[in-house]
Chains A and B, each alone.
Chain A
């Protein structure tokens, strides 16, 4: 019996939507969706900057004074973050938290921080972390994608799935699937339709708008003012999520994207697709 369900819960500071279809009854699919939501809640509880009782908050409070042991989830995300920092020469940097606190995008937990501290000052071994300068980590640019990836793993292979955490989405199967991307100004409401080019897609808008968060340049400390949106297709939602931040700050990052097996789609304020980094087939735009 073929069934399909869609669920939505407020998690990760946004709306997380899970769509499942498969040769199961609806009750089974609902149970699987509940399991996936639980997995997202578990990761949110560990990686949240906002929650004073999260694993991340413990690290931010104590990792300068003493080496902190970390969970597998924290190890995965910090490991990927450090790799991206290295490859982007610091354009992606999770130590950006103090700047985000300053502009009011994150709550102030009163952490002591050094303005010159950066990702170089984080010492990560696979299950331990230590800070060498006073700093604070925010995983807002990468954790949503990771939560989506982990939630995908709890869904069996015979079930078709799409998990969309406020625009960071991953699906299986993904070939020939169509998705919509909003114009950069969310108030405009309009969308363009494109075909999926990898399993995951994430979108970020540089300019501070009527949406969550902001992208701050790690070296210049300024909020990006670019009104274009950057969508990244990649094999995992974590990678797509993080790479959109780099794309917003360095639109000429073709080589880096290629190195990560990712592709970038840039949409300007008027809905024009102005750039698409690829050495394969051109973008197929569906409908309008």
Chain B
């Protein structure tokens, strides 16, 4: 399990690397993979299963879910009863989210937990015009990655990308996991 986790985290690092020019506004870690497993499948013995999607399978998943498959290797665990636990990444326009999903033997979603949430706004931060609005004040102060910010109110953020990601994973079960 620990190897799987390291692999996953290093993959996350690559994905974040793509946003290197962007400044991060907020990063929040809610649960570890092990905690999410315990919450979605309490007391269940989950074993890591190595699953690599083939090109044809990916095409099927993409057609059925109308989303793009980014990771060819799944971070998947299976119980003796045929439940699946998958950790996956959803990259939206402004967010980069690790989520855990539990599917029962019929492929139905039995639990979803966000593991980490990173907001990756930033283009506007580098935009000189936008910065000028602060009249020479240190804009970094406005945008500090504030660990103390525990609760934020504002225009509601959509979780549409998560919904798309969940569709992709339930289709992945249909195409690749059901028969395993």
Check if A213 is an interface residue, CB within 8 A of chain B: yes
Kindly state the separation between the CA atoms of A182 and B154 in the bound complex, as whole angstroms.
5
- In the complex, A202 Cα to B99 Cα: how many Å? 26
| Chain A nearest CB, measured from B151 CB (Å) | 5
Complex interface: stretch among B9-17, B64-72, B75-83, B109-117: B109-117
Q: Which of B7-28 contact A (CB under 8 A)?
A: 23, 25-26, 28
Q: Which chain A residue shows the least CB distance to B151?
A: A179
Say whether B142 contacts A190, CB under 8 Å: yes
Cβ of B152 under 8 Å from chain A: yes
Residues A188 and B155 in contact in the complex (CB < 8 Å), given A10-B112, A162-B150, A288-B142: no
B157 contacts A14, C-beta separation under 8 Å: yes
Given A179-B153, A180-B151, verify A13-B124 contact (CB < 8 Å). no
**Interface Cβ pair total, 8 Å cutoff:** 141
Do A188 and B124 form a contact, CB below 8 Å, given A7-B31, A8-B114, A211-B157?
Answer: yes
Cβ contacts under 8 Å, A204 to chain B: 155
Q: Which residues of A have CB within 8 Å of B122?
A: 189
| Chain B residues within 8 Å of A212, by CB | 155-158
Q: Does B6 sit within 8 A of A, measured CB to CB?
A: no
Instruction: Report the separation of the CA atoms of residues A184 and B139 in the bound assembly, to the nearest whole angstrom.
Output: 17
Among A6, A182, A188, A213, which residue has its beta carbon within 8 angstroms of that of B130?
A188
Q: Verify B121–A202 contact, CB threshold 8 A.
A: no
Q: Is the CB of A180 within 8 A of B141?
A: no
**Chain B interface size range:** 35 or more
Closest A residue to B116 using CB positions: A8
Residue numbers in A under 8 Å from B112 (CB-CB): 9-10
Complex Cα distance, B30 from A16, in Å, reads: 12
> Does any Cβ of A come within 8 Å of B39's Cβ?
yes
Q: Which of A8, A178, A179, A205 sits near B155, CB closer than 8 Å?
A: A205
Are the C-beta atoms of A180 and B149 separated by less than 8 Å?
Answer: yes
Main SS of the interface on chain A? strand
Q: Is A218 an interface residue (CB 8 A)?
A: no
User: What are 21 A-B pairs with beta-carbon distances under 8 A?
Assistant: A9-B114, A10-B163, A10-B166, A14-B158, A17-B151, A162-B151, A166-B156, A167-B152, A167-B153, A167-B157, A180-B149, A182-B155, A186-B157, A189-B143, A191-B152, A203-B153, A203-B155, A210-B93, A213-B156, A231-B153, A270-B133
Known: A10-B166, A209-B155. 18 other contacts (CB 8 A): A7-B31, A8-B28, A8-B30, A8-B114, A10-B112, A14-B157, A15-B117, A164-B151, A167-B157, A178-B148, A179-B153, A181-B154, A185-B124, A186-B155, A189-B121, A190-B25, A190-B139, A271-B133
Interface residues of B (CB under 8 A from A): 23, 25-26, 28, 30-31, 39, 93-94, 99, 112-114, 117, 119, 121-125, 130, 133-134, 139, 141-143, 146, 148-160, 162-163, 166
* A interface with B by C-beta (< 8 Å): 6-10, 13-15, 17, 19, 30, 34, 144, 162, 164, 166-169, 171, 177-191, 193, 201-205, 209-213, 229, 231, 270-271, 288
